[in-house]
Structure 1
Amino acid sequence: MKKHIYSTTFLLLMLGASWLIYACRTPESRTQTNTAKLDSLDYKIGQMLMVGFRGTSIKGKSHIKRDIRKHHLGGVILYSRDLLMGAKPRNIVSKSQLKTLITDLKKLSDVPLLVAVDEEGGKVSRLNAKFGFATTQTPQEIGEINDLVATEKWATHIAQKVKAMGFNVNFAPVTDLNVNPKAPIIGKLGRSFSGDVNTLVQHALKFTEVHQKHGIVCAIKHFPGHGSAIMDSHLGFTDVTTTWKPIELKPFKQMIEQGFDGMVMTAHVFNKKLDAKYPATLSKKIMNDYLRKKWGWQGIIISDDMQMNAIAKNFGIEEALEKSINAGVDIVLFSNNGRIFYNKNIVPEAINIIKKLIKQGKISRKRIDESYQRIKKMKQGLK
């Protein structure tokens, strides 16, 4: 009996000593532990991923909680509609519900979580009248008015509602030149400000400046130009070789030259004139040689949704991850909102694939570090 008492006493003393040691640790030593975690390979890869998910709250079992807490997910994208499930709510039911969801998501992360939305104005609007938000004009209508005062007012309305809900990233404005008004995914939907470079750039810059004042990061899209496409990259392989013109690069180049410092989103378009083998998202020639080297872009490059059929139907996930990251993509986007499947394990699967590619020497640790440092720098600037 005495032996049992002594053993118990010894165990309690040891536990007490352990807690005392932890409590006496200096803030510096705790910071060192946190820094070690933040510098781990798994952490850096997790920060390079952004995903979509189902759910209007994080109550109960949700893979997104696991992805943020365990896999250090860098960002999420929210949608108003689930393309696979039809009428079933995706992430938005009401203003109050959405605000609570975003607040709860941010609390799960130990560093700022990117919470993104496609809020371009007009037809591409997740924060729409169905949920109590005011409707907005299309970018094309704004470009036709061609009054920067009106543009600022319009952009302010969009930025304010995006900010009020808690978003810190807006995947807008479309910077594709409206060279083909009948293009199914750009011109037909009124998503581009103009077919004139200077007009487009003026209004796109005003949009981004207003968002920046509200603490929101913008992504100009879809580099190197989707405005001439006669196919929709959501649905399949999109070849713009015969329709694309070099002038489509100018809006992106001018935006960068005039101080835009948010994100550049890639296009899943194939263009033999720029790369005879790969679509832009997977092309080192386009992303690295043009955007990084030729234009000196040092900011974030984010892919368009890697589950779009232009990529998913033509490249395996391993090849797509290898090529896109080596091309210069910093954040890989998986919307989990296609018309074919939903993958609740896309985050751990992508992390494991990237780690395997690093082990095989197909992606360098240096390349991961480059992206992580860009992401870290951007997040430090979030309000």
Structure 2
Amino acid sequence: MRKLIFIHVLAVIILSGCAAKKSSNGPSELDIMIGQMVMVGFRGLQLNADNPVIRDIREAHIGGVILFSKDCALNSTVRNIEGPAQISMLTSGLQSYAATPLFIAVDQEGGVIKRLTGEMGFQETLSAAELGNSGDPQRAYRAGKITGRTLRTAGINMDFAPVVDVNRNASNPVIAALQRSFSDDPRIVARFAEAFIDGLHSEGILSCMKHFPGHGSSRGDSHLGFTDVTEYWDSSELYPFQKIIQDNKADMIMTAHVFNAKLDRKYPATLSRRVIQGILRRGMGFQGLVVTDDMQMQAVSGEYGFKEGVYRAVKAGADILLFGNNLIFEPGLGTKAVATLKQLVHEGKVTELRIRQSYERIMRVKEGLADDRK
């Protein structure tokens, strides 16, 4: 309850325009606002006192964490998730260090893409492709509800799902090959994705549609490097996003690191103001949260570097910068990201007003989560 009251009071202060200046006893308003824009991955099944993520939460005020079942950098099956009792203890511990309750997120799509598995004692669901092929949206709703219940019990409040990419390329290595798309028909994708989202919402879990403005036609993997969809992308890939936004079901949207010269001749979607502010915000009227795909993926980090990537993503309109910290592991990455963003503000490259816009969106969603749990 103390945390929920803190959220409410802080939001009222910020939204009323009465800036909370830095005191000798605590962080500045800017420190808090910037921190809330960062989400990071970390290592550990338990929170030992020397775990760097504790400093990320307590001192850098990061707004969220993402959990994984495997450690890619170590090629290990040990990361954050071992079983129901363990994950509940971990998420509770994470929240205990946060002055403002954390977003705790996971990729629990169903099928191949899952972090909480049957082997660990969690209930599994079908892949998006299997659900779509069933022809029954109620099965997608039930999958969303089962997933939502599993996450809620584990102390996780955000699912980076559903995938609403249209299955335009049957040989796509990161979408079709992993059965992550509901269909090659945009209307079916929208219908099944909405049902899945309704299932998540019934258990109080936030959804995140991905990957805007469409990754289903790609021939390459943006984890590995520059991915150009210009030749293959079609405007019909926007339909599921637009429909779900219009139906007021969209909590959060994740951007794709794909380059599409039809939409922006210079930057991939995650770093494109034309895509985020132009198409998504102004064109589609989306007022919810925009989160980047993992900023450590080579399509961004390999092409632009750390600081430039952070700068371009925030300038483009991203509210939350996601650092999986799994492809490459760096202790204290959340603190580094916050310091980098703060430096960009001090250099005049990012305005405090821009930071405040994202912070206010984040706080509105967190207040909604708090209301759902009363």
Change (3 A) 1:198 1:47: same
Aligned residue in 1 for 2:113? 124
Contact 2:209-2:250 within 8 A present in 1 as well: no
Contact 1:234-1:310 within 8 A present in 2 as well: yes
Q: Does 2:53 match 1:55?
A: no
Deviations 1:107-149 (A, max 9, x none): 1111221000000000000011221223321110100111122
2:282 & 2:44 partners in 1: Cα distance?
41
Q: Does 2:352 match 1:365?
A: yes
Aligned residue in 1 for 2:331? 344
- Large movers: runs of 4+ above 4 Å: 31-39
Match of residue 354, structure 1, among 301, 318, 341: 341
2:131 & 2:53 partners in 1: Cα distance?
37
Q: Which amino acid aligns with 2:343?
A: K
Contact 1:57-1:101 within 8 A present in 2 as well: yes
1:202 & 1:175 partners in 2: Cα distance?
10
Aligned-residue offset at 1:234: 0.7
Aligned residue in 2 for 1:97? 86
Aligned residue in 2 for 1:23? none
Q: Does 2:153 match 1:152?
A: no
1:34 & 1:86 partners in 2: Cα distance?
46
Aligned-residue offset at 1:348: 2.1
Aligned residue in 1 for 2:33? 44
Q: Does 2:281 match 1:323?
A: no
Aligned-residue offset at 1:38: 7.6
What RMSD, in angstroms, separates the aligned Cα atoms of the two structures? 1.7
Aligned-residue offset at 1:34: 11
Q: Does 2:276 match 1:287?
A: yes
TM-score (norm: length of structure 1): 0.89
1:81 & 1:297 partners in 2: Cα distance?
33
Change (3 A) 1:60 1:34: farther
User: Is there any run of 5+ residues in structure 1 with no aligned partner, and where?
Assistant: 1-27
SS in 1 for 2:109: strand
Matched positions, count: 352
Aligned residue in 2 for 1:87? 76
Identical pairs, percent = 41
Q: Does 2:188 match 1:188?
A: no
1:208 & 1:39 partners in 2: Cα distance?
36
Q: Which amino acid aligns with 1:135?
A: E
Match of residue 137, structure 1, among 117, 121, 126: 126
Contact 2:208-2:250 within 8 A present in 1 as well: no
2:153 & 2:135 partners in 1: Cα distance?
27
TM-score (norm: length of structure 2): 0.91
Change (3 A) 1:34 1:76: farther
Q: Does 2:158 match 1:169?
A: yes
1:39 & 1:296 partners in 2: Cα distance?
32
Deviations 1:167-201 (A, max 9, x none): 00000000101111210000111101111111111
Aligned-residue offset at 1:216: 0.7
Q: Does 2:269 match 1:254?
A: no
Contact 1:38-1:44 within 8 A present in 2 as well: no
Change (3 A) 1:367 1:240: same
Contact 2:165-2:216 within 8 A present in 1 as well: yes
Contact 2:187-2:239 within 8 A present in 1 as well: no
1:242 & 1:134 partners in 2: Cα distance?
40
Q: Which amino acid aligns with 1:364?
A: T
Greater relative contact order (CA < 8 Å, ≥ 6 in sequence): 2
Aligned-residue offset at 1:210: 1.5
Aligned-residue offset at 1:59: 2.1
Q: Which amino acid aligns with 1:212?
A: H
User: Is there any run of 5+ residues in structure 2 with no aligned partner, and where?
Assistant: 1-8
Aligned residue in 2 for 1:66? 55
Aligned-residue offset at 1:35: 5.5
Contact 2:217-2:232 within 8 A present in 1 as well: yes
1:291 & 1:94 partners in 2: Cα distance?
38
Q: What is the 5 A alignment of 1:209-248?
A: 209-248=198-237
